[in-house]
Structure 1
Amino acid sequence: MPTLAERLKLKYAPASIRRTDVKPDGAMEFAPGRWGCVVAMMGAVVKKGKTAAFSDATCSCAGGRIGLGFTEMYAPGFQEFLSRGDSEGTCTRHRDSEGYKKSPAAVEAWFQGLPSRKIAEKYVVFEPLDRVPNGEEPELVVLYVTPDQLSALVVLANYDRPNADGVAIPQGAGCQTFCLFPWHEAEQEHPRAVVGMTDISCRHLIDDNMLSFTMPYDMYRQMEANAEGSFLDRETWKRNVEKRL
């Protein structure tokens, strides 16, 4: 039986995210205290089959630290940086404010709504799904997809549900959309998949015709099981979309 990645003819193999106290041998890792982008690391995992590990000591990006669960709070003054102006000392990498929210108050309200957490495990590991060690189980599966592939995943995510809200598109940093928000969904009774990589600051780190699609591992397995006999085997999909993949 073909995998979901094979059915959708994904350009890149699925990646996985898991928390652990053991760093995989040979994993890429940022140097302590040196800034590095979590999204760029995910790109190396998806596109090159690398394994990446992050810890509290090696994840320095403010958004990445929240996205991977190493802290629950942004530094004071980040409200200004994400909206209308950068407070002195808030961000040494960017000189200009980002304008992603209309006001500091709007940013603060957004902060309060983030499903942030402080993880108990030492490491967050990104690795190809087919390289997760025996005895371990990924928490999340990340796919890089085109609009046509995304359309199929949205339908399949809702295939066995009585409603149509099986997918969410929250605003956040790139790594938050493929890690933090999906972690939160995995804890819900009816978890949703999360469309991500809509962060303007990170769009240059992914193919220009792609977004990320992240789901809890159990949801991914259910979607794979549901693929057989679904619209993916029907003429409408084959005639209208599959031939373009």
Structure 2
Amino acid sequence: MYSSVADAIGLKYEPLVVLFADSKPEQARQFKEGKWGCVMFMVAAVLKGETAVFDRSSFGCFGGGTGLGFGDQYENFPGGKGCFQYFLSVGNDQWSHGREAAEQVKPFMRPAAFKHFTHGERYFKSPELVGQFIQSLPITTVPAPYVVFKPLVEVIEEEEQPEVIVFFGNMDQIAALTVLVNYGRGHNENVIFPYAAGCQSIGIYPLAEARRDLPRAVLGLNDLSARVYLKRLLRDDVLSFAVPLKLFREMENNLEESFLSGDTWRELRTMGSF
């Protein structure tokens, strides 16, 4: 598949496609079963031209398993969902069950990960608010054994059905994508920017949007941890912009007569040298 939109806005990276599969692609990158890893590691590999695959035993981390559509994996977090709620907020050293769980997992964790487990990532004010956050997520279970990430250009549309297309761009490019999504709608609430893990912004959120009659784009990478991992690998400053296939086609169809052929966008591209 080819994206005229990606070409028109001068993307550095080929868009990433999320699709479901019944079999594992050959030579695809995959986390080892039961081993920790951030989905952003795989995102970076795909942006460099590789293919990545995930299943119910190789999704990297519990947030990643949830974000990719393998159900509520927070239930399997060390010590249970309660420990995850303390991990994302004030830390597991704040309650007895958490301290007991910390002693059990300490031999298996890297020092930095153990520090976060015990003292918390402080992304939420309280464990109770983390519980509300989890309840608000569009958690789902995908209807296939595998979730595949691959470059858009490698998708054969007659053989594969993309679920989500994800653009990665700088602020000028994200602004252009936002304008283009709104171009044919007649109202201005067509892009959402939920606070979510990086993988959730390209996984379960746009998958939920795909079920809407008028799907919205999902702006992502406001996850600080995901940004750290991705910046280490890409040495670049990007946001993600995920759209269900229906919206992707709408954007492609609206491109020709839109602002992207005008002087304002041309000048902005020149100023940004992209």
Give the TM-score, by structure 2 length: 0.84
Query: Partners of 1:84 and 1:175 in 2: how far apart?
Result: 23
Q: CA RMSD in A?
A: 1.7
Q: Deviations over 1:178-207 (max 9, x none)?
A: 111111111111111111111111112145
Query: Partners of 1:209 and 1:73 in 2: how far apart?
Result: 29
Query: Partners of 2:256 and 2:28 in 1: how far apart?
Result: 35
Q: Deviations over 1:27-70 (max 9, x none)?
A: 11111111111111011101x21000000111240100100111
* SS at 1:184 equivalent: helix
Query: Partners of 2:10 and 2:143 in 1: how far apart?
Result: 37
| CA distance 1:2–1:39, change in 2 (3 Å) | closer
Q: Does 1:81 align with 2:109?
A: no
Structure 1: which 5+ runs fail to align? none
| CA distance 1:60–1:2, change in 2 (3 Å) | closer
| CA distance 1:30–1:151, change in 2 (3 Å) | same
Alignment-derived partner of residue 126 in structure 1: 149
Aligned AA for 2:216? R
| CA distance 1:78–1:137, change in 2 (3 Å) | same
* SS at 2:74 equivalent: coil
* SS at 2:189 equivalent: coil
Query: What aligned pairs does 1:9-158 form with structure 2 within 5 A after superposition?
Result: 9-46=10-47, 48-75=48-75, 76=81, 77-86=83-92, 87-88=98-99, 89=101, 92=109, 93-96=113-116, 97-133=120-156, 134-158=158-182
Larger radius of gyration: 2
Aligned AA for 2:65? R
Q: Which residue of 211, 224, 239 corresponds with 2:252?
A: 224
Give the TM-score, by structure 1 length: 0.94
Alignment-derived partner of residue 209 in structure 1: 237
Please state how far the C-alpha of 1:126 moved relative to its aligned partner. 0.2
Query: What aligned pairs does 1:188-199 form with structure 2 within 5 A after superposition?
Result: 188-199=212-223
Structure 2: which 5+ runs fail to align? 76-80, 93-97
Taking every aligned residue pair, what percent have the same amino acid on both sides?
41
* SS at 1:53 equivalent: strand
- Which structure is higher in helix share? 2
| CA distance 1:10–1:94, change in 2 (3 Å) | farther
Please state how far the C-alpha of 1:218 moved relative to its aligned partner. 1.7
Aligned residues: 243
Aligned AA for 1:198? N
